[in-house]
Amino acid sequence: MILLSIETSCDETSICIVKRARGKNVRFEVLSHKILSQVDLHRQYGGVFPSLAKREHARTITQLIAEALDEADLLVERSYEYHLSMSHKNKLEKLLHREPDMRSALTILFEGIQKPSIDAIAVTKGPGLEPALWVGINCALALKTVWDIPVYPINHMEGHIMTGLLNFNKEDNIYELSTPEFPATALLVSGGHTELVKIPKLGSYKIIGNTRDDAVGEAFDKVARLLGLPYPGGPEISNLANKARTERLIVDEHLVLPRPMIHSKDLNMSFSGLKTSVLVKVKAQKNVDEKFKKKIAVEFENSVTDVLTAKTKQAIYETGSQTLIVGGGVSANDHLRTKLKELANTDDFDLFIPDKKLAGDNALMIACVGLFQIANDKKPKDKIIANGSWSIEES
């Protein structure tokens, strides 16, 4: 069974082709995994610009699919002239009337290559930027139209959870989904989400904690911007904070930041006040030099990590979990990883955290959920509507 997955929820266009391996569990070989980042384009705006993201996805996705098929050894060019039927042309025109360039590119692909041996397609339906999500969905439905392949709509956040559970076996080149003890708790930390999720069993999710305002990744990005650092701010802040720790810089008393909601009884969080506190300190600072930036970066990272670990500890306790699964772009953060590992040791639970390379958005995570759904007899969909705020509880 070969599955092709598509991820276009934010500023990464990604295609992955996986081949399911034998065994009861979800096990697979990655035949190709392509991630095309738009970061350089969005940097000038200091964040992701949705209509630009959509345009870029539409411009690049077909070529990326062709490259992925080629790398997976599934691309066979036609040796004769071939034209799509009128019926296919009409369907594509209707489906892709908002993406004429993608329609032209896909038509060239369909007419130039033979139907590849792909058995299923998985595509991100949400959450994310709706214009961007539509590109992936419409592309998937176009492939379904012409190649007659079933399409599975996937929740992006479930993808982040499953990535945390992936084990890579170098010897046989196989990824395998771990089977942890349930109930589990997931900590999801990305550019759009900060959630604590109770997982009675894989595939079933209940949100038990949430941010009231900014997501933690968003806070990293905004604080970075206040310090004049480029987008995306997470890695920039993390870099400066690591330097501050190596140099053992002491954070002056007037630069200490709050730990918002750390003592609230619930599992909710808030990060927008933290960003305002940084703004106040930046404004009061005459000389925003490298040393000041390092101090703010390390104090901000410490504050966020203190809050996240405290809330996670409480969630683990309240849910009676043996397992913590971490996911989302911010799970690449070194300090957060260290502190969560320490917590797992002291509080004696199993920690599953993604390989740093797979922490950010990618199509491998969408493929993994797709295979999980197929293994659990979920049905594909004929019609898929992008949902920018699709909750993991509804997936």
> Binders of Zn ion: how many residues, by CB under 5 A?
2
Binding partner at 217 among ligand KG4, Zn ion, none, C-beta below 5 to 8 Å by kind: ligand KG4
Question: Applying CB under 5 A, does 361 fall inside the site for Zn ion?
Answer: yes
Could you tell me which stretch among 28-36, 82-90, 91-99, 190-198 binds ligand KG4 (CB under 6 A)? Answer: 190-198
192 binds, among Zn ion, ligand KG4, none (CB under 5 to 8 A by kind): ligand KG4
Asked if 136 is part of the footprint of ligand KG4 (rule: CB under 6 A), the reply reads no
* H or E element, residue 282: helix 272-284
Residue 100 preceded by cis peptide, ω within 30: no
Q: How far is the CB of 208 from ligand KG4 (least distance, A)?
A: 20
* Interacting positions 176-235 with Zn ion (CB under 5 A): 190
Q: Which of residues 238-257 bind ligand KG4 (CB under 6 A)?
A: 238
Candidate ranges 87-95, 135-143, 227-235, 309-317; the one touching ligand KG4 (CB under 6 A): 227-235
Answer for which of 175, 220, 300, 372 binds ligand KG4 (CB under 6 A) is 220
**Cα separations in angstroms, 15 against 6, 158, 263, 361:** 5, 17, 42, 11
C-alpha 333/C-alpha 317 separation (Å) is: 24
Two tokens, residue 183: 């109930």
Which residue matches tokens 């076996």? 169
Query: How many other C-beta atoms can be found within 10 angstroms of the C-beta atom of residue 170?
Result: 6
Distance in angstroms (rounded) separating the CA atoms of residues 190 and 244: 24
If one counts every other C-beta atom within 10 angstroms of the C-beta of residue 144, the result is 20
373 binds, among ligand KG4, Zn ion, none (CB under 5 to 8 A by kind): none
Which of the choices Zn ion, ligand KG4, none does residue 106 contact, using the CB cut-off of 5 to 8 A by kind?
Answer: none
Q: How far is the CB of 286 from Zn ion (least distance, A)?
A: 38
Strands 27-37 and 174-177, by their bridges, are antiparallel
Structure tokens at 229: 């650092």
Under the binding rule (CB under 6 A), the answer on residue 10 touching ligand KG4 is yes
Residue 290 dihedral angles phi and psi, to the nearest 5°:
-60, -40
Instruction: Name every residue whose Cβ is closer than 8 Å to that of residue 241 and which is 6 or more positions away in sequence.
Output: 294, 297, 298, 300, 301, 302, 335
CB of 127 to ligand KG4, least distance (A): 8
Residue 234 as a binder of ligand KG4 (CB under 6 A): the answer is yes
Question: Would you give the DSSP letter of residue 2?
Answer: E
Task: Tell which one of 13, 145, 185, 190 touches ligand KG4 (CB under 6 A).
Answer: 190
Sketch the per residue contact string, 361 through 380, with ligand KG4: x for CB under 6 A, - otherwise.
x-------------------
d(CA 42, CA 278): 23
Check binding of 232 to ligand KG4 (CB under 6 A): yes
395 binds, among Zn ion, ligand KG4, none (CB under 5 to 8 A by kind): none
Least distance in angstroms from the C-beta of 212 to ligand KG4? 18
Closest to 53 measured CA to CA, from 192, 236, 220, 219? 192
What's the rounded Cα separation, in Å, for the pair 100 and 104? 6
Site for ligand KG4 in 289-328 (CB under 6 A): 328
Contact with ligand KG4 (CB under 6 A) among 153, 209, 260, 329: 329
**Site for ligand KG4 contains 195 (CB under 6 A):** no
In whole angstroms, the minimum distance from the beta carbon of 370 to ligand KG4 comes to 18
d(CA 39, CA 164): 24
Concatenated DSSP letters of 60-86: HHHHHHHHHHHHTT---B-SS-----H
Select 190 or 321, whichever has its Cβ closest to Zn ion.
190
330 binds, among ligand KG4, Zn ion, none (CB under 5 to 8 A by kind): ligand KG4
Query: Between residues 260 and 328, which has the closer beta carbon with respect to ligand KG4?
Result: 328
What are the residues binding ligand KG4 (CB under 6 A)? 10, 190-192, 217-218, 220-221, 232-235, 238, 328-330, 332-333, 360-361
